[in-house]
């Protein structure tokens, strides 16, 4: 579902898996989210699989200048963001519940130079976490959330929509 690289040329891939991604992982049931780090030659360095009951799918991945890995995923109607120190996966430094996306999905992730993470997607509800800058207006709205990359605290959510259905699929920032 998603791919990015770091400054050393390592490749990070994220998506979903039914079963076990490699022999050292445990399936949470249904489909699980995962990310894998490959070296510049395409050799697997490590994989991290996570999930619980129901279905989880990673939809976006980014790596900051310090090597921290940010993974955006959907879990049973909830949008989630986890930050990992790039040390063979392991436990996340934090996981933030971004809120209920209803029939929508969190799909885009970007980092800025000021320590913020930007998440975008589409939601069928006005139940996302964070201080709303604009109101939910349609049957589905696009959204952008700004999250503090260090703490995982949600700074704000902004709904983007009309009286009908509106989607947001990706986000980019300058700086």
* Best CA proximity match to 136, nearest among 170, 102, 169: 102
Residues 38, 11 contacting (CB under 8 angstroms): yes
Mean pLDDT along residues 63-69: 92
Task: Determine the pLDDT at residue 117.
Answer: 97
Q: Is the pLDDT of residue 61 over 80?
A: yes
Determine the pLDDT at residue 9.
96
pLDDT class of 23 with cuts at 50, 70, 90? low
pLDDT > 70: what percent of the chain?
A: 93
**What is the model's pLDDT at position 86?**
76
Residue 92: both structure tokens together: 């996340």
**DSSP string for residues in the chain:** -EEEE-TT--EEEEEEEES-SSTT----SSEEEEEEEE-TTS-EEEEEEE--SS-EEEEEEEE-TT--EEEEEEETTEEEEEEE-SSSS-S-SEEEEEEE-TT-EEEEEEE-TTSEEEEEEEESSS-BSS-EEE---SSBEEEEEEEETTT--EEEEEEE--SSB----------
Per-residue pLDDT, averaged over 126-139, amounts to 88
Reported confidence tier of residue 139, pLDDT bands at 50, 70, 90 = confident
User: Tens of pLDDT along 11-20?
Assistant: 999 999 888 7
In this prediction, residue 24 carries a pLDDT of 62
- What is the tens place of the pLDDT at every residue in 77-103? 999 999 999 766 678 999 999 999 988
Q: What is the mean pLDDT of the chain?
A: 90
Read off the pLDDT of each residue in 124-136 and give the average, rounded to a whole number. 90
Which residues have C-beta within 8 Å of that of residue 100, sequence separation ≥ 6? 77, 78, 79, 123, 125, 127, 128
| pTM of the model as a whole | 0.92
- Of 56, 59, 69, which is closest to residue 17 (Cα–Cα)? 56
């Amino acid at each position: 579902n998603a791919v990015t690289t770091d400054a050393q040329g390592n490749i990070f891939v994220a998506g979903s898996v039914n079963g076990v991604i490699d022999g050292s992982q445990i399936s949470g049931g249904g489909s699980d989210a995962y990310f894998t780090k490959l070296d510049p030659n395409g050799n697997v360095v490590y994989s991290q699989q996570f999930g619980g009951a129901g279905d989880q799918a990673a939809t976006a991945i980014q790596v900051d200048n310090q090597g921290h890995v940010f993974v955006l995923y959907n879990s049973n109607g909830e949008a989630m963001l986890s930050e990992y120190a790039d040390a063979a996966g392991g436990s996340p430094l934090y996981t933030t519940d971004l809120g209920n996306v209803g029939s929508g999905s969190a799909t885009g992730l970007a980092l800025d130079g000021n320590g913020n993470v930007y998440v975008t997607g589409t939601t069928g509800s006005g139940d996302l976490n964070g201080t709303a800058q604009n109101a939910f207006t349609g049957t589905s709205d696009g959204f952008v959330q700004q999250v503090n990359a260090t703490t995982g605290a949600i700074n704000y959510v902004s709904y983007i929509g009309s009286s009908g259905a509106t989607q947001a699929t990706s986000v980019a920032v300058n700086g």
